[in-house]
Amino acid sequence: MTIAANVGPALAREVANATSIGELRHQAEGCTRCDLYRNATQIVFGEGPVKTEIVLVGEQPGDQEDVSGRPFVGPAGRLLDRCLEEAGLDRQRCYVTNAVKHFKFTQRGKRRLHAKPNAGEIKRCAWWLGAEINILQPKLVVTLGASALYALLGPKVKLTPERGHILYPANRPPVLVTIHPSYLLRIRDEADQRRQRRDFVSDLHKAAAYRSQ
């Protein structure tokens, strides 16, 4: 399925201007484009090789990522790592980033509970995500969950019907649509969880196959 270039407002038409990921990260460290920087510990920028074929995009850093400053190092990240390995994808060869670069949470006593970023926050942060993708020019972008999909392709493209498909936006790298690993962690029914995990690995396997084409 080919999608027109201007599918939605989410991925900003204008993005940060930088010639390297290092320069971009440096600029992003001072980001005040939305209010999320106020309560977060630090920005969690993308990481991985700049000569990469695959960019994985999650939603936003969680509690552990906020503290460590690195994407996908908490429970969802560990599950992602295992599923990538099963799919034959080496995380060390992928660039891993998020649609939103600061942790959004609500405080409950001592706990900081994940809060979903809103459309405005995703749009503001597309300034960075768009620039990361422009610099990296990967062969394939994998969206993990609805927020990443929204950031890349806007509101008209929905996760459920497109899950497992590779979409081809004009003038941008192809996008493989899949779920977020934290969804798997929330499934209570064991059989359902097994099924969903198997489908997730199979989606990631498509990314591995695409890379080696």
Query: Which residues are at the interface with ligand URA (CB under 6 A)?
Result: 58-62, 65, 71-72, 74, 76-77, 98, 182
- By Cβ distance, which residue is nearest to ligand URA? 58
Nearest approach in angstroms of CB 213 to ligand URA is 27
Residues 80, 85, 87, 93: what is their CA dihedral angle, to the nearest 10 degrees? 90
Judged by DSSP in three states, 140 sits in: strand
Q: Over the Cα atoms of the chain, what is R_g? A: 16
Nearest approach in angstroms of CB 147 to ligand URA is 8
Spatial separation of the C-alpha atoms in residues 50 and 47, rounded to whole Å: 9
Q: How many residues does the chain have?
A: 213
Return the number of the residue (172 or 180) whose C-beta is nearest ligand URA: 180
Nearest approach in angstroms of CB 181 to ligand URA is 8
Nearest approach in angstroms of CB 171 to ligand URA is 26
The count of other CB atoms within 10 Å of the CB of residue 88 is 14
Return the number of the residue (62 or 168) whose C-beta is nearest ligand URA: 62
The count of other CB atoms within 10 Å of the CB of residue 49 is 12
Nearest approach in angstroms of CB 87 to ligand URA is 18
Find how far residue 42's CA is from the centre of its chain. 18
- Minimal CA–CA distance to 114: which of 105, 126, 125? 105
